[in-house]
Amino acid sequence: MEEKLKLLAIAGSPRRGGNTDLLLQGVMAGAKSGGAEVKHLVLSELCIAPCRHCDKCIETGRCVVEDDMQWVHAELREADRLALASPIFFMGLTAQTKMMIDRCQALWVVKHVLKLPLPTNRGRGRKGLFISVGGTRGPKLFEPAKATVKIFFKTLDFTYSDELFFRGIDEKGAIAHHPTALREAFWAGQRLAQD
Ligand SMILES: Cc1cc2nc3c(=O)[nH]c(=O)nc-3n(C[C@H](O)[C@H](O)[C@H](O)COP(=O)(O)O)c2cc1C
């Protein structure tokens, strides 16, 4: 029997039960209904220090900072699908999300300096979904964060395949009152679970 697709769902908001958390839950439910195996990481509950730019990873591809990022690296390499959720903070990603991304410099080294294969998911295609919300409504609200997520996905060999963006969502849980958002999240999860 074919192994299930593995979805790694990463919650980047410091607010548990907030808007991006609810959207990510919808995505996970959709992906499970589509047959995927789902692993949920909540960055605010992990111990992840910022990148020190010590350049020690340049020789080995391994980060010398011994914290939760060591096993998160392995999860990122193993996943077939990635759903990354972060609200907009000062026009960018949350600090928790950006710290996790910056610590992937060691994986950038594996790929671009050591020229070794990065994914360990047995050659299955890799797709990524970016989920975000912001309290305001500007037309360019998601652009800076999207640029960062795109280069992050590209570095890790995930195709940027889908996005879920909602403007004007500020209060905790406000997304639950949006007419379609949680259904859209469920459908995005189902799409992600497809080959
Ligand atoms: C530190 C901070 C910075 C924020 N910066 C922005 C911003 O630049 N633009 C915006 O539209 N909303 C901004 N917001 C509002 C959040 O994006 C909004 O409340 C969002 O719904 C939070 O999502 P969450 O519930 O998933 O944490 C900011 C909120 C905080 C706490």
Instruction: Give the domain ranges of the chain.
Output: 6-137+149-192
DSSP E strand boundaries for 35-91: 37-42, 81-85
* Burial grade of 29 (CB within 10 A; 0-12, 13-18, 19 or more): middle
Closest CA to 45 of 71, 11, 79: 11
Looking at residue 123, its pLDDT comes to: 83
What atom in ligand 1 is closest to the CA of residue 138?
11
What atom in ligand 1 is closest to the CA of residue 137?
11
Count Cα atoms within 13 angstroms, Cβ side, for 102. Answer: 16
Mutating to test ligand 1, I would choose from 19, 22, 88, 175 the residue with most ligand atoms within 8 A of its C-beta, which is 88
Sheet with 37-42, strands from edge to edge, namely: 37-42, 6-11, 81-85, 127-133, 159-166
Looking at residue 99, its pLDDT comes to: 98
What totals of helices (H) and strands (E) does the chain contain, helices first?
7, 5
How far is the centre of ligand 1, averaged over its atoms, from the C-alpha of 84 (Å)?
16
Q: Per-residue b/e over 57-69, b at no fewer than 16 CB within 10 Å?
A: beeebebebeebb
The list of the chain residues with pLDDT below 70 reads 1
Nearest Cα residue to atom 30 of ligand 1: 89
Residue range 41-96, pLDDT digits in tens: 999 999 999 999 999 999 999 999 999 999 999 999 999 999 999 999 999 999 99
**What single-letter amino acid sits at 115?**
K
Looking at residue 2, its pLDDT comes to: 75
Nearest Cα residue to atom 1 of ligand 1: 89
What atom in ligand 1 is closest to the CA of residue 85?
26
How far is the centre of ligand 1, averaged over its atoms, from the C-alpha of 157 (Å)?
28
Residue 151's contacts (CB-CB under 8 Å, 6 or more residues apart) are: none
Mutating to test ligand 1, I would choose from 15, 27, 86, 90 the residue with most ligand atoms within 8 A of its C-beta, which is 90
Q: Which superfamily is assigned to 6-137+149-192 in CATH?
A: Flavodoxin domain (3.40.50.360)
Contact residues of ligand 1, CB 6 A cut-off: 13, 15, 18-21, 87-91, 133-136, 141, 169-170, 172
Predicted TM-score (pTM) of this structure: 0.98
Nearest Cα residue to atom 7 of ligand 1: 90
How far is the centre of ligand 1, averaged over its atoms, from the C-alpha of 98 (Å)?
15
Looking at residue 195, its pLDDT comes to: 78
